Structure 1
Amino acid sequence: MAPQRMSERRTSLIGALLTTIGPVSMAIYTPAMPELVHAFGTSDAAIKLSLSLYFFGFAFAQLLAGPFSDAFGRRIATLSFLGIYLLGSLFAAFAPSVELLLAGRLVQGVGASVGITVSRAIVRDQFTGPEAARILNMIGIMLAIGPAAGPTLGGLALALSGWQAVFFLMVSFGVFSWLIVAFLMRETTTPDRVLIKPSRLLGAYATLVTDMRVLFAAFVLAGTVGALYAQATMLPFILIKRVGLSPAEFGVGMLMQTGSFFLGSVALRILSPRLGERRALLTGLTLAGTGGACIALSVIFVEPTFLSIMMPVAICAFGMAFIIPYITTAGLQPHPAIAGSAAALIGFVQMGSGFLGGAVGALIGDPLQAFGIVIPAMELVAILAYVGFLHGSRRMA
């Protein structure tokens, strides 16, 4: 099928919808995590593992979803993986045991992996440079709405109808997304099935991982966005069990994080003509680093309260909004012919870091202590990765 061009608005709307699949599936779920411990008569560690398995499936399946979209087209790949996501959601909703719940969450993660990969690829297929960054920024603005409402909806559904309602919300979101892609998304690339051959697939990833511009761009996102995902395994237990919020209050309280990201995206849209790419990135990394330092200090010196936990998180989220559009564009720019694979690699590193951060947090044991160690360390990784990105860009110039 010959590639077709969509308008900036349609690309932004579809891109935002696809990007939200992963975060919304996490955000809706988090208020139910403490309740699931009681529902299945299991431990906190087992329910935390359900989120880690979701990250695991999400991260590794991207390595297939990206090349699959290069080889068979963005639409076919998206519809196929959304079907997998729906199966996983139904499986989890009717799980009679915690083991089957874990399996359902893993399948969900595999299906949701197509969202972040294809959303970035369709932007790269059609737009470059400042135009692409502008669309990614608009996606970021709209992206804030879904995850912002997710914990609130999840908390209310849990209070009204129990934990199964949380998964039925995911089923509804999956059906809606599938229909939007089926009827409104155009094919933006020329599929080439040769690209799915193992030799070509390995060759594409070898090209990408040896390009410091791509690799270090991925690690910048790993440190910032990955931290967002890693802390999702910690915040429900800190704010509900240590601070004393109810699941519904936790859901509303998470608006502070997503609202800050939304405000950061709006601020970037206003300030980007004055700041330019490099100064915007430096501003975002400075804020993310400051937020990370505040997290470490608050955990050490302050008895946890809602504001002591969430104010530094909000600072990190505000800074992250300045980072994502430009560093994503920079990472996808060098290799347009394998944009799906590049988006997959970046997404894999980003989500893989969230999985690793959550796993390290689980090993530490105490969620508050893990929060104070893991999240600041990840923000520091992002800053160091940007130094590596600048060095790689100079070498490749």
Structure 2
Amino acid sequence: MLRLKSPATVVALAALTALGPLATDMYLPAMPAMAKALDTGPDQVQLTLSLYMAGFAMAQLFCGPISDRFGRRPIMIAGFGLFLLASLLCAFAPSVEWLLAGRFLQALGGAAGPVLGRAAVRDIYGPIEAGRMLSYMASVTALAPALAPIVGAGLLLFFGWESIFLLLTVYAAAMLLVLAFLMPEPLARENRQSVHPAIILRNYRMLLGQRAFMGYTLVNASGFAGLFAFLSGSSFVLIEFMGMSPFEYGIGFTLIVAGFFSGTLISGRYSHRLGRDRLLLLATAMCALAGTTMAGLAAMGVFSPWAVIGPHILFLVGFGIVMPQSMSGALAPNPQCAGSASSLFGFLQMTIAAFGGALVGRFHDGTSLTMAMSIGLGGVLSLVAYQLLVRPASQAAASTQARP
């Protein structure tokens, strides 16, 4: 077994958390080919992404509270087992309807990795150190979306789109072995909570009434909606509309993820020096600037890959800072129900993102305009959520602490 406070445990938690971006990013280069193979339109294939996010969001409402009672490890084992079976269903899906069903089941199982990985970090490191550790964990996790599109493009080229889901099956099997034989249980028995519905609802009601929790959550969810708009529309915009090959798309995506990786390193390095809220102000302003720049270029008819990729690199630098800092801000005051807080945080994040992705699919006009406008809106709303909710909550908390 690994020691709880060790670099190896952080890497293992990052690998478990990476299931989310792997399940969304690896098959992005294959989406146009999947639409042709399954004799369906781009909107139906894009729906596999939105449906995954919707199922992911729904599952989080249950797996977090259940893990508060029974521990993180057994719930993750059950989740990865379901994800493994669902990945096989996707790989051998004879129609888009079967693929949609497989993606939904993938989401139900895959939610356990990111949700309980976040909660485990809060269990192990406490409210202050969790922000820094989540930043470093996000740096490791960033390797998944950096490599996933390139790996997906290679598998598509040599083995067909089905092989992408077979590789996800193998990954899930490997993570099951890690959970079964290496991962210790991070949740202490004295911190276990009841799974009575009234207790769960009371915790959710308490969290929804916390201005700080809602502020940090909406800062993250708005930025993630901009990222998800890119995930939902970029392959059709860059490959079909702008003529990039799947491999070139994978390279461009890797550059974008490098922006996210840089943001997580900045977050970890300056977490203590600048503080959570100063970092979030800088990061949300960066997301708003990058998103509105992309939207402005598209509105002016500048349809070039770099008019999309360039601004989105900056957007992902900002979101690389936003993600770990907003997560730790939302979880910090709620150690007694960290699983429930992580669940509600993820539910709101994924629900808002899925809605944004569905809009991109519904109003896609064949150009980059709809996607760029959605990304710009996500960046602006993230900055607004910071100014209207996070900043006042932080000022109120500081004023309370300053009173004798």
Structure 1 residue 137 and structure 2 residue 138: aligned? no
Q: Is the Cα contact below 8 Å between 2:119 and 2:342 reproduced in 1?
A: yes
| Displacement after TM superposition at 1:266 (Å) | 2.4
Q: Is the Cα contact below 8 Å between 1:14 and 1:119 reproduced in 2?
A: no
Give the distance between the partners of 2:362 and 2:70, measured in 1 at CA: 40
Give the distance between the partners of 1:120 and 1:95, measured in 2 at CA: 32
Q: Is the Cα contact below 8 Å between 2:132 and 2:271 reproduced in 1?
A: no
| Displacement after TM superposition at 1:337 (Å) | 1.1
| Displacement after TM superposition at 1:279 (Å) | 2.2
Give the distance between the partners of 1:340 and 1:77, measured in 2 at CA: 11
Q: What do the CA deviations read for 1:13-35 (whole angstroms, capped 9, x no partner)?
A: 12211221111111111111000
Give the distance between the partners of 1:393 and 1:119, measured in 2 at CA: 26
5 Å matches for 1:123-134?
123-134=121-132
The aligned residue for residue 42 of structure 2 is: 44
Residues 230 and 392 of structure 1, relative CA distance in 2, 3 Å threshold:
same
What is the total number of aligned residue pairs between the two structures? 394
Letter in 2 for 1:363: R
The aligned residue for residue 158 of structure 1 is: 156
**TM-score under structure 2 normalisation?**
0.93
Give the distance between the partners of 2:193 and 2:321, measured in 1 at CA: 37
Identity of aligned residues (%): 33
The aligned residue for residue 391 of structure 2 is: 390
Letter in 2 for 1:208: L
Residues 272 and 206 of structure 1, relative CA distance in 2, 3 Å threshold:
closer
Q: Is the Cα contact below 8 Å between 1:217 and 1:389 reproduced in 2?
A: yes
Query: Which runs of at least 4 in structure 1 moved beyond 4 Å after TM superposition?
Result: 191-194
Q: Is the Cα contact below 8 Å between 1:17 and 1:143 reproduced in 2?
A: yes
Give the distance between the partners of 1:210 and 1:52, measured in 2 at CA: 28
The aligned residue for residue 208 of structure 2 is: 209
Give the distance between the partners of 2:49 and 2:182, measured in 1 at CA: 31
Give the distance between the partners of 2:3 and 2:290, measured in 1 at CA: 39
- Where do 5+ consecutive residues of structure 2 fail to align? none
Q: Is the Cα contact below 8 Å between 1:11 and 1:123 reproduced in 2?
A: no
The aligned residue for residue 288 of structure 1 is: 287
**TM-score under structure 1 normalisation?**
0.95
5 Å matches for 1:181-220?
181-190=179-188, 195-220=194-219
Q: What do the CA deviations read for 1:141-164 (whole angstroms, capped 9, x no partner)?
A: 111111100000000000000011
The aligned residue for residue 369 of structure 1 is: 369
Give the distance between the partners of 2:211 and 2:379, measured in 1 at CA: 19
Q: Name the stretch that deviates more: 134-143 or 357-366.
A: 357-366
Letter in 2 for 1:238: V
Residues 211 and 268 of structure 1, relative CA distance in 2, 3 Å threshold:
closer
The aligned residue for residue 265 of structure 1 is: 264
5 Å matches for 1:170-319?
170-190=168-188, 195-319=194-318
Letter in 2 for 1:155: A
Give the distance between the partners of 2:124 and 2:270, measured in 1 at CA: 24
Give the distance between the partners of 2:203 and 2:128, measured in 1 at CA: 26
Secondary structure in 2 aligned to 1:232? helix
Q: What do the CA deviations read for 1:208-227 (whole angstroms, capped 9, x no partner)?
A: 11111111111111011232
Q: Is the Cα contact below 8 Å between 1:224 and 1:320 reproduced in 2?
A: yes
1:72 to 70, 73, 84: 70
Letter in 2 for 1:200: I
Give the distance between the partners of 1:274 and 1:198, measured in 2 at CA: 41
Q: Is the Cα contact below 8 Å between 2:292 and 2:377 reproduced in 1?
A: no
